[in-house]
Amino acid sequence: MESSIILAAAFPPLSSSSHPVALLTDAAGAARAVRCRVADAERPVMCYAMGEGMFNAEEVFQWESGKSVNAIAAAQGIRVRRRCRPRHPSEGIGADRAVPRNILEQIIWDKEVEVAQRKARAPLQRVRESAEVKKASPTKGLLREHLDPVEIAHAYERNGAACLSILTDEKHFLGSFEDLEAVRNSGVNCPLLCKDFVIDVWQIYYARSKGADAVLLIAAVLPDLDIKYMLRVCTSIGMTALVEVHNERELDRVLKIDGVQLIGINNRSLETFEVDAANTNMLLEKHGDIIRKKRMQVVSESGLFTPDNVAYVQNAGVSAVLVGESLVTQEDPGRAIAGLFGKELVH
Ligand SMILES: O=P(O)(O)OC[C@@H](O)[C@@H](O)c1c[nH]c2ccccc12
């Protein structure tokens, strides 16, 4: 028990005034987590776990409340079920969980395995040490796996991209953290967004250590408490979070979370990968007022192929667009930026 508390003290990213107030135990009585109260938070923030590594806030809540992670997520309308996460004893391994229900669920199940393996290879302490390096601002852009990431990043930057998005998911997008690191080390000045499926704070520290300035947090995957916790982690290491939504329910949830500055509206459903170019405008028509009042910035993501597409979402009030496919599939992806905006962006 004592060593658990020391471990918690050795990892105080939320606030220097954090102090452990309770030790949470699992059904077998083993120490699972330390609950910390953060002095400047409105409510106590739960975090940290012992043993194999760290748990996310939602998992700690799970042990406290007796509810399964999937039950908590489902109550928030999240349809993606988690598979490998430490389960509450009340949650059996149902036969229905043998087969993913859609593309996003498949990606997340693969991500759980990948993160567990990566975590074992690079323990948090080491990642965090190398994580306290750079600062940046919000980002956009995209890099496709079949092109030289460094070359294309420079082409984007030369042609006026405000930021660069680098996919790091290997299995489903053929991206990599090596790509991210190579671009960072190649001398680009643009901020870099690590584009991945974050399910664990470990990934945020890891992205930072590889040179990312921002990470994507997907509301279709992360329950509210995880988003809140991850936003605090981002702030504590000088990173920006782009919080992505696809539908009204997700946007409603995200608008209630303090500290979200950057919302991405994905025109593509990650469950089906279908694109509805009108999605950004539809959501902004309904919620634009509150977004403006809260001074949040909106990025329209995916499926933008023509200057008309871009003008359409710009009229809806977005401050940025995130474009991948329509640039990387053209012979000169850098010049394709000018084509998409109907003008040269180079100053
Ligand atoms: O290639 P497109 O349609 O221009 O989309 C880019 C980007 O928006 C898309 O890749 C994306 C948006 N959100 C994501 C989440 C994970 C992986 C990828 C994405």
Q: Token digits for 292?
A: 């403006």
Asked if residue 286 has pLDDT above 70, the reply is yes
Q: How far is the CA of 262 from the centre of ligand 1 (A)?
A: 16
Q: Is 171 a catalytic residue?
A: no
β-bridge partners, 321: 300
Provide the pLDDT for residue 64: 60
Integer Cα distance of 306 and 336 in angstroms: 10
Provide the pLDDT for residue 60: 62
- Range from 1-5, 31-35, 173-177 that averages highest in pLDDT: 173-177
The mean pLDDT value for 119-144 works out to 41
How many residues belong to the chain?
A: 347
Q: How far is the CA of 109 from the centre of ligand 1 (A)?
A: 19
CA distances for 32 relative to 28, 49, 55, 289, 301, angstroms: 10, 6, 9, 43, 38
pLDDT in tens, 58-70: 666 666 666 777 8
The mean pLDDT value for 251-263 works out to 96
Provide the pLDDT for residue 140: 32
Q: Is 294 a catalytic residue?
A: no
Q: Token digits for 129?
A: 């040490």
Counting beta carbons within 10 angstroms of the beta carbon of residue 53, is it exposed (0 to 12), middle (13 to 18) or buried (19 or more)? middle
Q: Is 64 a catalytic residue?
A: no
User: Catalytic one among 195, 279, 281, 309?
Assistant: 195
Residue with more model confidence, 4 or 296: 296
Asked if residue 258 has pLDDT above 90, the reply is yes
The mean pLDDT value for 299-312 works out to 91
pLDDT in tens, 183-210: 999 999 888 999 999 999 999 999 998 9
Q: Is 134 a catalytic residue?
A: yes
Residue 22: phi and psi, rounded to 5, are: -155, 145
- Closest C-alpha among 206, 173, 53 to residue 106: 173
Angle of helix 57-65 versus helix 224-236 axis, rounded to 10: 140
Atom index in ligand 1 nearest the CA of residue 197 equals 16
Characterize the bridge pairing of strands 297-301 and 262-266. parallel
Q: How far is the CA of 181 from the centre of ligand 1 (A)?
A: 20
Integer Cα distance of 77 and 248 in angstroms: 11
Confidence of residue 273 (pLDDT cuts 50, 70, 90): confident
Contact, 32 vs 68, CB < 8 A? no
Integer Cα distance of 332 and 342 in angstroms: 15
What value of ipTM does the predicted structure carry?
A: 0.99
**Neighbouring residues of 120: CB distance < 8 A, sequence distance ≥ 6:** none
Provide the pLDDT for residue 29: 43
Asked if residue 315 has pLDDT above 70, the reply is yes
pLDDT in tens, 132-142: 211 122 233 34
* Of the listed ranges 51-55, 143-147, 254-258, the one predicted with least confidence: 51-55
Provide the pLDDT for residue 22: 41
Confidence of residue 144 (pLDDT cuts 50, 70, 90): low
Q: How far is the CA of 301 from the centre of ligand 1 (A)?
A: 6
3-state secondary structure of 101: coil
Asked if residue 162 has pLDDT above 90, the reply is no
Residue with more model confidence, 228 or 173: 228
Q: How far is the CA of 142 from the centre of ligand 1 (A)?
A: 8
State the DSSP H helix or E strand holding residue 226, giving kind and residue range, or none if neither.
Answer: helix 224-236
Mutation choice for ligand 1 from 171, 193, 268, CB with most ligand atoms inside 8 A: 268
* Of the listed ranges 76-90, 243-257, 274-288, 330-344, the one predicted with least confidence: 76-90
**Ligand 1, atom 16: nearest CA belongs to which residue?**
196
User: Catalytic one among 132, 178, 285, 344?
Assistant: 132
β-bridge partners, 301: 266, 322
User: Catalytic one among 244, 250, 279, 309?
Assistant: 244
Confidence of residue 126 (pLDDT cuts 50, 70, 90): very low
Contact, 41 vs 23, CB < 8 A? no
Q: How far is the CA of 119 from the centre of ligand 1 (A)?
A: 25
Contact, 234 vs 204, CB < 8 A? yes
Provide the pLDDT for residue 145: 47
Provide the pLDDT for residue 33: 42
Mutation choice for ligand 1 from 142, 310, 323, CB with most ligand atoms inside 8 A: 142
Contact, 188 vs 210, CB < 8 A? no
Atom index in ligand 1 nearest the CA of residue 301 equals 8
What is the reported pTM? 0.76
* Of the listed ranges 10-19, 24-33, 96-105, 281-290, the one predicted with least confidence: 10-19
Share of the chain above pLDDT 90, in %: 40
Atom index in ligand 1 nearest the CA of residue 142 equals 6
Integer Cα distance of 120 and 115 in angstroms: 8
Handedness of CA 177, 182, 183, 188 (dihedral sign): positive
State the DSSP H helix or E strand holding residue 20, giving kind and residue range, or none if neither.
Answer: strand 19-25
Q: Is 343 a catalytic residue?
A: no
- Closest C-alpha among 339, 340, 254, 253 to residue 298: 254
Ligand 1: lining residues by beta carbon, under 6 Å: 142, 195, 216, 244, 266, 301-304, 322-326
User: Catalytic one among 4, 18, 165, 266?
Assistant: 266
Integer Cα distance of 7 and 58 in angstroms: 20
Atom index in ligand 1 nearest the CA of residue 196 equals 16
